[in-house]
Structure 1
Amino acid sequence: MTHTWNVVIHLFDADDLVRDGRLTGAHAVLTTSAGTSLEGYGRARRNPEDAAVPEIGEELAAARALRELADRLLRATSDDIAEIEHRPVHLQR
């Protein structure tokens, strides 16, 4: 049996958050085949001295959102195991 989980990453310019338009945001959403959903957020701020290359900000913001999503998934997994084992569980990265 195969299960499919989907991750969607929404990228956005967060220009309204800073006056000089150097902030990119990312929102990663994982949806499991059972319908469970987890989210992660990330952002990237361009140094004003650097060239404006939007793809780099998007990559960094997406990577940070995925990292947060992965950490949340690990916490959810250890909570699920702890509930079954009736003891604290700490999973390593």
Structure 2
Amino acid sequence: MEVTVMMNTAVGWHVELEFTEDDQHTRAAALVRLPDGSEVRAHGRASRHHTDSNQPRVGEEIAGARALNELAMQLLTKAHGEIDDASGRTSQPIHV
């Protein structure tokens, strides 16, 4: 009887978010470094309405979420491209 032992391997991704802000706008830059050495970058923006109070953290959350959402879409596209290259067929990304 042959027994196959599966080992779990921990893989880590390093994601960085940087913000630039002024009184009305917040910009976020997101970067993920993948284990193969490649990088994926994305950007997000938020604007404060002139009647809203100045809450930089809220602008960061919105701009950061938009940058991470764009990063997620790019990663899905990258993964499906790799599936297509390996399989010789066209896969359909599911956007969530």
For normalisation by structure 2, the TM-score amounts to 0.86
Equivalent residues, number: 87
Q: Which amino acid aligns with 1:8?
A: E
Structure 2 portions without partners, runs of 5+? 1-8
Q: Which amino acid aligns with 1:68?
A: E
Residue equivalent to 2:10: 2
Q: How does 1:50-61 map to 2 (within 5 A)?
A: 50-61=52-63
How far apart, CA to CA, are the structure 2 residues paired with 1:5 and 1:55?
24
How far apart, CA to CA, are the structure 1 residues paired with 2:81 and 2:75?
10
Q: How does 1:26-45 map to 2 (within 5 A)?
A: 26-45=28-47
CA RMSD of aligned residues (A): 0.9
Residue equivalent to 1:81: 83
How far apart, CA to CA, are the structure 2 residues paired with 1:34 and 1:3?
11
Percent identity of paired positions between Structure 1 and Structure 2: 32
How far apart, CA to CA, are the structure 1 residues paired with 2:46 and 2:74?
20
In terms of fraction of residues, the more helix-rich structure is: 1
For normalisation by structure 1, the TM-score amounts to 0.89
